[in-house]
Structure 1
Amino acid sequence: EVSSDFYRPTDVVNLWGDPTKAKQKLGWDPTRMTSFKDLVRIMVEADMAKVAAERAGEQVKLNLAEYLEKGIVK
């Protein structure tokens, strides 16, 4: 139960939106439900891809430092 003291005169009971723009620009479909398991999989895959990209960048930096050290690149 919520006390009426916490309600503001401008509080809206129901909010409605039109997902048309999100569907057109992002291909998002509000009727397609993603299971929690799929959501976790998607998030983990995104994190793993980010880490792989960061590591690749670090490897390039390491290679460059090595090349500079050896005089291969000036």
Structure 2
Amino acid sequence: MAEIVKYVYVIIIFPSLILFATNIEAIIRCFHDADCVHKICHPPQIRKCVSKICKCRLMITQKDYVLT
């Protein structure tokens, strides 16, 4: 009987650990742009602190424009 109870506990605990511990889109709090070092952005974007949350923002520079 005790083994059945342990088995039920294992069935409940391990899936809950997987569901709650793997939050990929966690919010990173910041005060300045320098606080966002852990945020990973794709190349045309850079890390910015917007409303105290680190976000990836597309930054267009002058070298992105070509005179034709």
- Interval containing the TM-score (normalised by the shorter chain): 0.3 to 0.5
TM-score by length of 2: 0.38
Q: Write 1 or 2 for the structure with the bigger share of helix.
A: 1
State the TM-score, normalizing by the size of structure 1. Answer: 0.36
Select the structure of larger CA radius of gyration. Answer: 1
**Structure with greater strand share of residues:** 2
